[in-house]
């Protein structure tokens, strides 16, 4: 049955590539780029075509003019699919495009397609539920990450110095983003042995380290901003104190969740068994309490 499904998937991909090849080139449709995206997001669950992934990234970096057809082609592919393999490869592909940090991509805001209610239409629900959950969680994270990137660029363009309260609220937002990211994990034991899920988790783990480092930088900025501000220290009940207290509580919880997450990754082989990343609590409670709770 699996061989039959794979053969059907190959035929679908070949048909899609053919249709793309005979399509008329427009400002939003590039047949050659569309064919590359179809190959990169093929129905083949046995491997990830990183060669075509890199070709897509190269197109994205070449010129902003290619961004519209890239987004259109990928969105069209995602909107039509009901196969978890294609959907997951599409998310990995857009994840890589976002990581290219191209201005045109950073300005798109929300992702141009919606997989928040994705459901595989070709697998029994009893077998597909874990993959569906994985895709929905991965989409939710990338969608929010894209929107947050866009929002921060807008704020930076205003070139206005942030207040202590704004710095703390930004940290709260990134902690919420980390919550979404930590939900991107295989829910079923059977998923841990799936090669494509393994490849996706490598992307997720890399993102965890980057978001965690971003949070550490934000807390350092908040502490520095508080030292710079020549105002009366916040007192219990003030907005800044309430925000800081919530941040510390959330940081403690997320530190424990990160340890569990890394343990799962080691069990899957995503992280080397001998590699045990040290989770330094965010924020450093002593510095934060001394700084924000003086009266």
Domain boundaries, the chain: 1-132, 161-294
Q: What is the pLDDT of residues 243-282, one digit of tens each?
A: 888 888 888 899 899 989 999 999 899 987 555 556 655 5
So what's the pLDDT on residue 232?
45
Query: Helices then strands (H, E): number in the chain?
Result: 11, 0
Rg (Cα) of the chain, in Å, rounded? 22
For 81, the 3-state DSSP assignment is: coil
Candidates 1.25.40.90, 2.30.30.40, 1.10.1740.10, 1.10.3720.10; correct CATH number of 1-132? 1.25.40.90
Q: What is the architecture of the domain spanning 161-294?
A: Up-down Bundle (1.20)
pLDDT score at 282? 53
Residues (pLDDT < 70) of the chain are 1, 159, 226-237, 273-295
3-state secondary structure of 98: helix
- Residue 187 phi, psi (nearest 5): -90, -25
What is the distance between the alpha carbons of residues 206 and 58, in angstroms, rounded to a whole number? Answer: 21
Residue pair 9/53 in contact by the 8 Å Cβ criterion? no
Q: Among the residues of the chain, which ranges form H helices? A: 2-21, 31-40, 50-62, 67-80, 84-99, 103-106, 125-157, 164-181, 195-228, 239-268, 285-292
Nearest partner of 280 among 294, 259, 263, 295, judged by Cα: 259
| pTM value > 0.85 | yes
Instruction: Measure CA 58 to chain center.
Output: 20
The reply to whether 1-132 and 161-294 are identical in fold is: no
Q: Are 221 and 167 in contact (CB under 8 A)?
A: yes
Q: Calculate helix-pair angle for 84-99, 195-228, nearest 10 degrees.
A: 40
Q: Give the C-alpha separation, 136 to 191, whole Å.
A: 15
Taking the alpha carbons of 204, 206, 207, 211 in that order, is the dihedral positive or negative?
A: positive
């Amino acid at each position: 049955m699996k061989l039959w499904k794979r053969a059907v998937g190959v035929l679908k991909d070949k048909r899609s590539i053919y249709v793309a090849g005979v399509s008329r080139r427009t400002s939003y449709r590039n047949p050659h780029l569309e064919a590359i995206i179809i190959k990169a997001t093929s129905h083949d669950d046995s491997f990830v075509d990183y060669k075509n992934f890199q070709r897509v990234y190269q197109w994205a970096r070449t010129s902003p003019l290619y961004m519209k057809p890239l987004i259109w082609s990928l969105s069209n592919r995602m909107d039509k699919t009901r196969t978890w393999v294609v959907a997951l490869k599409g998310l990995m592909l857009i994840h890589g495009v976002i990581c290219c940090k191209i201005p045109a991509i950073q300005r798109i805001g929300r992702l141009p397609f919606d997989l928040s209610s994705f459901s595989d239409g070709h697998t029994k629900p009893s077998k597909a539920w874990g993959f569906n959950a994985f895709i929905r969680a991965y989409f939710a994270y990338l969608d929010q990450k894209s929107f947050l990137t866009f929002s921060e660029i807008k704020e930076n363009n205003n070139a206005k110095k942030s207040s202590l309260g704004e710095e703390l609220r930004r940290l709260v937002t990134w902690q919420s983003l980390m919550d979404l990211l930590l939900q991107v994990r295989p829910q079923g034991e059977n998923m841990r042995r799936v090669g494509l899920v393994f490849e996706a988790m490598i992307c997720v783990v890399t993102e965890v380290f980057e978001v965690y480092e971003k949070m550490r930088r934000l807390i350092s900025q908040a502490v520095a901003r508080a030292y710079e501000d020549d105002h009366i220290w916040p007192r219990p009940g003030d907005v800044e104190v309430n925000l800081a207290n919530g941040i510390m509580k959330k940081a403690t919880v997320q530190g424990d969740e990160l340890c569990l997450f890394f343990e799962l990754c080691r069990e899957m082989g995503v992280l080397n068994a001998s590699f045990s990343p040290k989770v330094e609590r965010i924020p450093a409670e002593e510095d934060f309490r001394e700084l924000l709770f003086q009266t």
